[in-house]
A = this chain, B = another copy of it.
Amino acid sequence: MRATLLYGAADVRVEDVADPKIQNPTDAVVRIVLSCICGSDLWPYKSLPPTDNPRHMGHEFLGVVEEIGSAVTGHKPGDVVVAPFVYSDNTCVYCQEGLQTSCVHGGQWGVHGVDGGQGQAARVPQADGTLVRLPVGEDSELLPDLLTLSDILCTGYHAARTAGVTCGDSVTVVGDGAVGLAAVISAKLLGAERIVLMGRHRVRTDLGREFGATDVVAERGEEGVARVRELTRGEGTRKVLECVGLKDALVQSFGVVRDGGTISRVGAPQYPEVPFGFGDFLRNIALTGGVAPARAYIEELMPHILDGAIRPGRVFDRTLGLEDIADGYRSMNDREALKVLIKP
């Protein structure tokens, strides 16, 4: 089959790789119908040193079950399914608590002999635990929306949930990327009254307004902090959803959070240390979040998509075939595209 490999920074190739096969009784093989490129794929795209041992890319996909291992009881060939961005058994002590990202039998796509998601098919370990059936056909118009259950919608929702966003709350979302926009959707779902979106890409922040942002702050750094405080009686917002992963975005988050408030970060941190000393200790700021256990939220969020209440798939502003995926990476990296859908 064809799959996406990264040989180094800006060196994306689509090549022939081994067809996926059942290796363990708990595996399934899924033919991929839709995949996409993640903002987090851009970190290695920017920085991976040249290598002869390329990285298998992609961790967001949905498709059709083609084959199942002998121990798989929850899925059958022909099922349309979505895969969260890590696989998990969904039965271990962590999974039972909704922390599938710490599953004792779980792991990541694209490493240790597991396929990536940006290809024509994938072997899915722990298929019963990992895959969630979608009650639609593979030609459904909702597929792009449903694909966001794989990562970004659940990641934005994880930010809002771990921050404790609740009815009437005030929230700042830092970052107008796909996850930031999903965080806006999520904050609104949880009843936030005030949602300030910090971002400076007009097309994205306009979409953010449609998703529920009540205010947009284009300024950054100290100027951005001052602007958010102006909007909130000088106090800042009770919750801040940090959806970038850079230290500047985190510093900005500390600047806009209200005393006693919570910052939840879901942008993968590109820094080893957090500036969080005595001053913010005196303000009783909490820092939560982390990598999102998407699997935990899929059943809860799917109905909102199925009934049309939310349209997270609107973050996809470009669609490419698998063979053209390198241009998708380039266009996201150059900020020409917000998020690129891939049709294998």
What is A's interface to B at a CB cutoff of 8 Å? 93-94, 97, 99, 101-102, 162, 235, 259-260, 262, 265, 268-269, 271-278, 280-291, 293
Decide if A287 touches B290 in the complex (CB within 8 Å): no
Say what secondary structure dominates the interface of chain A: mixed
| A283 CB contact (under 8 Å) in B162, B274, B284, B290 | B290
| A277 CB contact (under 8 Å) in B93, B102, B271 | B271
A-B contact pairs, 5 of them (CB 8 A): A272-B278, A281-B289, A282-B290, A285-B290, A286-B289
Q: Which residues from chain B contact A235 at a C-beta distance below 8 Å?
A: 93
A16 nearest CB across to chain B (Å): 32
| A273 CB contact (under 8 Å) in B276, B288, B293 | B276
Q: Told that A269-B281, A274-B276, A281-B289 touch, could you supply 19 new A-B pairs with CB distance under 8 A? A: A94-B259, A97-B260, A101-B282, A102-B283, A162-B284, A162-B286, A265-B281, A269-B277, A269-B278, A271-B277, A273-B273, A274-B275, A276-B276, A281-B290, A281-B291, A284-B289, A284-B293, A287-B287, A287-B288
A332 nearest CB across to chain B (Å): 21
Also in contact, A278 and B282, with CB within 8 A (given A97-B260, A260-B102, A287-B287): no
Q: Which residues from chain B contact A280 at a C-beta distance below 8 Å?
A: 290
Q: Which residues from chain B contact A285 at a C-beta distance below 8 Å?
A: 290
A86 nearest CB across to chain B (Å): 10
Instruction: Provide the bound-state CA to CA distance between A274 and B260, in Å.
Output: 19
Instruction: Provide the bound-state CA to CA distance between A94 and B236, in Å.
Output: 13
| A284 CB contact (under 8 Å) in B99, B260, B276 | B99
A-B pairs, top 4 by smallest CB distance, nearest first, are: A284-B290, A286-B288, A102-B259, A272-B277
**CB-nearest residue of chain B relative to A282?**
B291
Q: Which residues from chain B contact A291 at a C-beta distance below 8 Å?
A: 281-282, 284
Instruction: Provide the bound-state CA to CA distance between A290 and B276, in Å.
Output: 11
Q: Which residues from chain B contact A265 at a C-beta distance below 8 Å?
A: 281
| A268 CB contact (under 8 Å) in B272, B276, B281, B293 | B281
Q: Which residues from chain B contact A273 at a C-beta distance below 8 Å?
A: 273-277
